[in-house]
């Protein structure tokens, strides 16, 4: 299972996806396990995080990244600076 990251996608791409209409999630610096029951697409407005899939390599994600997490993936989130993101579950 692969985390897909688009760094600094163009505004047109964000508009196509309707990102500005998605809900917003915020979380302070922390570390916790997480499992995705559904595919999640999110766009980071603020913060930095390292996501480590249980069966893979750590991935660095931060402000301006458009990220897709696959359904069924278990991972550990390590938030290194407070996160604010738009998110959408498929």
Query: pLDDT by residue (tens digit) across 37-86?
Result: 999 999 999 999 999 999 999 999 999 999 999 999 999 999 999 999 99
Q: What average pLDDT does the segment 17-45 reach?
A: 98
**Does the pLDDT value for residue 1 go beyond 90?**
no
**Exposure string (b/e) for 37-66, b if CB count within 10 Å is 16 or more?**
eeebbbbbeebbbbbbbeeeeebebbeebb
- Token duo for residue 24: 């917003």
Domain that holds residue 57: 4-89
Q: For residue 8, what pLDDT is reported?
A: 97
Count the domains in the chain: 1
Q: What CATH code is carried by the domain that includes residue 48?
A: 2.60.120.10
């Amino acid at each position: 299972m692969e985390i897909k990251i688009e760094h600094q996608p163009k505004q047109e791409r964000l508009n196509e996806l309707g990102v500005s209409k998605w809900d917003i999630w915020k979380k302070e610096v922390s570390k916790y396990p997480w499992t995705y029951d559904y595919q999640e697409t999110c766009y980071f407005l603020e913060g930095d995080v390292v996501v480590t899939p249980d069966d893979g390599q750590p991935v660095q994600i931060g402000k301006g990244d458009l990220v897709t997490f696959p359904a069924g993936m278990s991972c550990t989130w390590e938030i290194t600076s407070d996160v604010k993101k738009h998110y959408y579950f498929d």
